[in-house]
């Protein structure tokens, strides 16, 4: 089994994160992405804001010591949310599930929320596997698709260990 860890984001990670977030297949799955994923200046400004915000817990996901993605928690409109982006080379091996379990075990606030595009079956499976349940659906503009699409909102309410089922 692969060894998955979360570690602090480092300046040396920025190029890998930028490239991961430019991957067209990943963008189509995530849907709710940067308006222009190729704009490095916008990415640098966004990541600088995230890193400066004490409310944001931001991590690099590693698989056997190598870069495999990012995971973070933050507050938006009074709700604590989690997010993750796994590099395509790490899809399908349980990396997202392990990373999300690690992230929610470090995040004491409940309830926790997460969002996924309705067509992203992989992300929906990860969220439900660790104990999130669907609470609502809405239609929003998805820059990664260039059109409106359905977004599902999930919540995790149970114990602080946050490790859910599966």
Give the C-alpha separation, 165 to 69, whole Å: 23
| 107-121 average pLDDT score | 95
For residue 1, what pLDDT band results from cuts at 50, 70 and 90?
Answer: low
Q: Per-residue DSSP letters for 22-51?
A: T-HHHHHHH-S--S-TT-HHHHHHHHHHHH
Checking if the pLDDT of 162 tops 80, the result is no
Q: What is the DSSP string of 134-164?
A: EEEEEEEEETTTTEEEEEEEEEE-S-TT---
Q: Quick: pLDDT tens for 25-58.
A: 999 989 889 999 999 999 999 999 999 999 999 9
pLDDT digits over 68-90, tens only? Answer: 999 999 999 999 999 999 999 99
Name the nearest CA neighbour of 115 among 135, 95, 87, 101: 135
Strand order in the sheet with 112-117: 4-8, 57-63, 66-76, 79-86, 112-117, 147-156, 133-142
> Which domains are assigned to the chain?
4-156 (3.40.630.30)
Pairing status of strand 112-117 against strand 4-8: unpaired
Q: What is the pLDDT of residue 79?
A: 96
Task: Tell me the pLDDT of the chain averaged across its residues.
Answer: 92
CB 140 within 8 A of CB 148: yes
């Amino acid at each position: 089994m692969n060894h998955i860890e979360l570690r602090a984001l480092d300046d040396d990670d920025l190029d890998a994160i930028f490239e991961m977030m430019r991957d067209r297949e990943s963008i189509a799955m995530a849907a709710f992405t940067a308006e222009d994923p190729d704009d490095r200046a916008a990415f640098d400004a966004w990541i600088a804001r995230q890193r400066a915000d004490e409310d944001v817990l931001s991590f690099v996901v590693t698989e056997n010591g190598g870069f495999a993605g990012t995971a973070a928690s933050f507050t938006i409109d009074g709700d604590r949310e989690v997010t993750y982006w796994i590099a395509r080379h790490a899809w399908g091996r349980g990396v997202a599930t392990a990373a999300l379990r690690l992230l929610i075990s470090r995040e004491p606030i409940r309830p926790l929320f997460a969002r996924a595009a309705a067509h992203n079956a992989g992300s929906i499976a990860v969220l439900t596997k660790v104990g999130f349940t669907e609470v609502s659906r809405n239609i929003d503009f998805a820059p990664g698709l260039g059109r409106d699409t359905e977004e599902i909102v999930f919540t995790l309410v149970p114990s602080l260990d946050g490790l859910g089922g599966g």
